[in-house]
């Protein structure tokens, strides 16, 4: 026996309730001002050039991925007061990172953002493309977490599915060492984890010359 037909309003409500969670990309960024951005690089190539690299690298990344309709982008800014700075592009929401080490700040973002998968990247990896971000979100359709390994033993991307709960991801991680990725993966015992492309970040002059290519030459010219 057939049940009663559903009204059009009921069908639309059902489709809305079944809609997938919105994918959210977070770009963690330091204010690109002299004395704050890329301090290690600044000691090697000078404050002015390092600041210029930080500003152009952030702008280039946000230009590539910031307005992609496949996800909603947020810039997470440090120091917190810099969230109101004029150097960020219009049309992309901003929020402060808050205090603590890198893991504490990332965990805070993962805890506070609205429901749905979240991917976090920084601004000092010139090789990031929209296809990398899309691959990370695809991986989160089948996995609990996704990482983009960095060539120095860290990682340039981390993403969590955040269902059925937000995992505690960053306990006892030795940041800024070759152990950072391995330490983080140890927190995911029993979880499904995916790895995507390995890329290189730019922390010193050698990395800038080796990995940034034409972008580096344009910044330093």
Provide the residue ranges of all domains of the chain, joining segments of one domain with +: 21-220
Supply the Cα-derived Rg of the chain in whole angstroms: 19
What distance in Å separates the CA atoms of residue 81 and residue 69, rounded to the nearest whole number? 28
CA-closest candidate to residue 202, choices 27, 5, 2, 41: 41
Contact indicator for 116, 162 with CB cutoff of 8 Å: yes
CA-closest candidate to residue 158, choices 104, 121, 192: 121
Reported as a single tens digit per residue, the pLDDT across 171-199 is 999 999 999 999 999 999 999 999 999 99
Paired with 148 in beta bridges are 157
pLDDT of residue 203: 75
pLDDT of residue 20: 63
| Distances, alpha carbon 61 to alpha carbons 15, 28, 69, 88, in Å | 34, 11, 15, 12
50/129: higher pLDDT: 129
Contact indicator for 166, 111 with CB cutoff of 8 Å: yes
* Per-position DSSP letters for 58-116, written without gaps between them: HHHHHHHHTT-TTSEEEEEEESGGGGG-TTSPTTSEEEE--SS-HHHHHHHHHHHSPSS
Q: In what order do the strands lie in the sheet with 24-30?
A: 93-96, 72-78, 24-30, 118-121, 155-160, 145-149, 193-195
Contact indicator for 25, 119 with CB cutoff of 8 Å: yes
Confidence of residue 218 (pLDDT cuts 50, 70, 90): very low
| Distances, alpha carbon 175 to alpha carbons 83, 170, 181, in Å | 24, 10, 9
Is residue 129's pLDDT more than 70? yes
pLDDT of residue 213: 57
CATH superfamily of 21-220: Spore Coat Polysaccharide Biosynthesis Protein SpsA; Chain A (3.90.550.10)
Reported as a single tens digit per residue, the pLDDT across 38-74 is 778 878 888 888 888 888 899 999 999 999 999 999 9
The encoded tokens of residue 168 equal 């505690």
């Amino acid at each position: 026996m057939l049940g009663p037909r559903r009204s059009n309003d009921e069908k639309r409500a059902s489709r809305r309730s079944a809609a997938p969670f919105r994918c959210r990309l977070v770009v963690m960024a330091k204010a690109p001002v002299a004395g704050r951005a890329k301090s290690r690089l600044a000691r090697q190539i000078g404050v002015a050039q390092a600041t210029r690299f930080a500003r152009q690298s952030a702008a280039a990344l946000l230009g590539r991925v910031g307005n992609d309709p496949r996800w909603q982008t947020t810039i997470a800014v440090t120091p917190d007061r810099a969230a109101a700075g004029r150097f960020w592009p219009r049309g992309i929401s901003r929020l402060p990172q808050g205090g603590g080490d890198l893991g504490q700040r990332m965990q805070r973002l993962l805890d506070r953002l609205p429901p749905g998968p979240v991917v976090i990247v920084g601004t000092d990896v010139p090789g990031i493309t929209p296809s990398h971000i899309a691959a990370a979100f695809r991986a989160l359709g089948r996995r609990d977490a996704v990482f983009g390994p960095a060539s120095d033993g860290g990682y340039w991307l981390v993403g969590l599915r955040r269902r059925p709960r937000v995992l505690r991801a960053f306990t006892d991680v030795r940041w800024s060492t070759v152990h950072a990725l391995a330490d983080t993966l140890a927190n995911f015992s029993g979880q499904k984890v995916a790895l995507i492309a390995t890329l290189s970040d730019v922390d010193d002059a050698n990395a800038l010359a080796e990995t940034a290519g034409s972008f580096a030459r344009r910044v330093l010219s």
